[in-house]
Amino acid sequence: MPAISLKVNQRAVTAEVEPRTLLVEFLREHLSLTGVHVGCDTSQCGACTVFVDGVSVKSCTMLAMEADGAEVTTIEGLAQGGKLHPMQQAFHEHHGLQCGFCTPGMVISSADLLKRNPRPTEGQVREWLEGNICRCTGYHNIVKAVLACAEGSAK
């Protein structure tokens, strides 16, 4: 089996993986990073979204081998020193999550949006989240949280 070396949540990881292993499987099953969720089998729900080299990626659309040499950040690696990332904090304050299943993907995807576009409009937030499905919140408080985070009003 081929070996890959990468950084996951700032830790160096080396592992042997079967070539067909998806990044999401590698993260969940080899590294027990179960915050990365699987909500579909057609790459549409976005529950599996992680950062790969600073860009949000659906980890079910990528082979683990493609992440060789990359830096991966999952939802588990977003809070720093016990302090929530501002986007996590905003989701908490604005009730941007209910069952929590879509949440890891939503938070990471939203954080990526603000990297690219620090002051998005409501419409831009909604368009950006096209690839993330939430069945619980009606998106209302997710959008609210992202806009609040952009305004820096999240404490």
Partner 1 sequence: MTTESKSLIGAPIARKEDRRFLTGTGRYTDDLNRLHQTHAVFLRSPHAHAKIVSINTSAAAAAPGVVAVYTGADIAADKVGGIPCGWLVKNKDGSNMVEPPHPALVADVVRHVGDQVAVVIAETKAQAKAALNLIEVEYDVLPAAATVRDAVAEGAPLVWEQAPGNTCFDWHLGDLAAVEAAFAKAHKIVEIEVTNNRLIPNAMEPRAAIGEYDAAGDMLTLYTTSQNPHLIRLLLGAFVLGVPEHKLRVVAPDVGGGFGSKIFHYAEEAVVVWAARKIGRPVKWTAERSESFMSDAHGRDTVMTAKLAVDREGNFLGFRVHNTANMGAYLSTFATAVPTYLSGTLMAGVYKTPAVYVEVRAVFTHTVPVDAYRGAGRPEATYVIERIVDKAARELGMDRLEIRKKNFIRTFPYKTPVALEYDTGDYDATLAMALEKADVKNYPSRVEASKKRGKLRGIGYSTYLEACGIAPSALVGALGARAGLYEAANVRVHPTGSVSVFTGTHSHGQGHETTFAQLVAQQLGIPFDKVEVVHGDSDKIPFGMGTYGSRSLSVGGSAIVKAVDKIIAKGKKIAAHLLEAGEADIEFKDGKFVVAGTDKSKAFGEIAFAAYVPHNYPIDTVEPGLDESAFYDPKNFTYPAGTHVVEVEVDPDTGVVTVESVVAADDVGVIINPMIVDGQMHGGLAQGIGQALFEECVYDESGQLLTGSYMTYSMPRAADFPMFKVGNHVTACTHNPIGAKGVGEVGAIGVPPATINAVLDALAPLGVTDIQMPATPEKVWRAIVAAKGSKAQ
Q: For binding to partner 1 (CB under 8 A), which residues are involved?
A: 28, 33-42, 44-45, 47, 74-76, 78-79, 84, 88, 91-93, 95, 97-104, 107, 122-123, 125-127, 129-130, 132-144
Question: Interface with ligand FES includes 38 (CB under 6 A)?
Answer: yes
Q: Which two tokens stand for residue 45?
A: 């729900």
Closer residue to partner 1 (CB): 56 or 132: 132
How far apart are the C-alpha atoms of 58 and 123, rounded to whole Å? Answer: 22
For residue 81, the minimal CB distance to ligand FES (Å) is 26
Looking at 47, 50, 143, 147, which residue binds ligand FES (CB under 6 A)? 47
Question: Interface with ligand FES includes 97 (CB under 6 A)?
Answer: yes
How far apart are the C-alpha atoms of 133 and 45, rounded to whole Å? Answer: 5
| Alpha helices, H only, 3-153 | 23-25, 86-93, 103-116, 122-128, 140-150
For residue 78, the minimal CB distance to partner 1 (Å) is 8
Question: Interface with ligand FES includes 139 (CB under 6 A)?
Answer: no
Q: How far is CA 56 from the centre of its chain?
A: 6
Question: Interface with ligand FES includes 45 (CB under 6 A)?
Answer: yes
Question: Interface with ligand FES includes 108 (CB under 6 A)?
Answer: no
Residue 140 backbone phi and psi in degrees, to 5: -50, -55
User: What does 138 interact with, of partner 1, ligand FES, none (CB < 5 to 8 A by kind)?
Assistant: partner 1
Please check whether residue 58 is in contact with residue 48, taking contact to mean a CB–CB distance below 8 angstroms.
Answer: yes
For residue 47, the minimal CB distance to ligand FES (Å) is 5
How far apart are the C-alpha atoms of 113 and 11, rounded to whole Å? Answer: 25
